[in-house]
């Protein structure tokens, strides 16, 4: 299972590295889709790390939808990339 989790974490990280903070970015949309936590009530530490990535991506997407500045969305994208990097290391 850890290898599947690591593969997913790496894919999300890679997608975020190529994503652009725009509403129609397919890499960002795909990263959001595959980082979603299956069981939001899970107490697994690994799921908490994954959830942090999912939340960071959702925060970025919401910011884009609300018309945040390019500087703000770029900062949020970097936050999501960092969170995904932590997920890769822990998976």
> Mind listing the pLDDT tens digit of every residue in the chain (91 residues)?
458 889 999 999 999 999 999 989 999 999 999 998 766 555 565 678 999 999 999 999 999 999 999 999 999 999 999 999 999 998 8
pLDDT at 48: 84
* Distance between start and end Cα atoms, the chain: 9
> Which residue, chain included where needed, has tokens 């997407």?
61
**Cβ neighbours of residue 36 closer than 8 Å, sequence gap 6 or more:** 54
pLDDT at 56: 97
Task: Give CB contacts under 8 A, 24+ apart, made by 17-25.
Answer: 17/81, 19/77, 21/60, 21/64, 21/70, 21/73, 21/74, 21/76, 21/77, 22/64, 23/61, 23/64, 23/65
pLDDT at 35: 93
What's the Rg (C-alpha) of the chain?
12
């Amino acid at each position: 299972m850890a290898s599947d989790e690591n593969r997913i974490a790496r894919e999300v990280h890679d997608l975020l590295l190529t994503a652009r903070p725009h509403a129609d970015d397919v890499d960002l949309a795909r990263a959001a889709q595959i980082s979603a936590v299956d069981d939001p009530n899970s107490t697994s530490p690994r799921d908490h790390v994954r959830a942090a990535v999912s939340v960071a991506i959702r925060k970025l997407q919401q910011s884009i939808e609300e018309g945040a500045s390019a500087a703000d969305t770029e900062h949020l994208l970097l936050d999501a990339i960092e969170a995904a990097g932590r997920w890769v290391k822990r998976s």
